Amino acid sequence: MENLWRAATGQDPSPEDYKGIEFWSNPERTGWLTKQGDYIKTWRRRWFVLKQGKLFWFKDSHSVNCSSTPRGVIPVGTCLTVKGAEDVVHKPYAFELSTGSATMYFVADTDKEKEEWINSIGRAIVQHSLSVTDSEVVDYDSRR
């Protein structure tokens, strides 16, 4: 049962989940976040990489290269919201990422990092949403 849960929540990614994505090269965002486990509700510090509509996590930043296997993958196009969650998990700099069936919690090191992650993931949700066609994708960075 636990293996099924881990697969359903992206914690045992198959190579198909990240095939063709060079997450080690020019990612959209990287950094340390503390993530709450989906099955066992412990908090663990992980290295996160956002690239091509997928949020990957690794045990540490030194192992991210072309032969790395992510510990988990979240396709952000399946996510509905990303927002602050300090009041939910009672931790400063916390935010949540929600799909139709699950909510994942993360804690950044600073308020600035929390806001940057929320903005980056929010842009990725819009750009990779299953309900958005390619012609509707907006490049937010070019509007600055």
Where do the domains of the chain lie? Answer: 2-13+25-129
For residue 41, which phi and psi values (nearest 5 degrees)? -80, 45
2-13+25-129: in CATH 2.30.29.30 = yes
Global pTM reads 0.76
CA distance 95 to 99: 14
Residue-level pLDDT at 13? 62
CA angle 70, 72, 73 (to 5 degrees): 95
Handedness of CA 120, 87, 102, 13 (dihedral sign): positive
Residue-level pLDDT at 6? 47
Q: What is the pLDDT along the chain (144 residues), one digit of tens a residue?
A: 334 444 444 455 665 666 667 777 788 999 999 999 877 889 999 999 999 999 999 988 876 776 678 888 999 989 999 999 999 999 999 999 998 889 999 999 999 999 999 999 999 999 987 654 444 455 545 444
Strands 94-99 and 103-107: antiparallel
HSE, CB side, 13 Å, CA atoms: give it for residue 134: 0
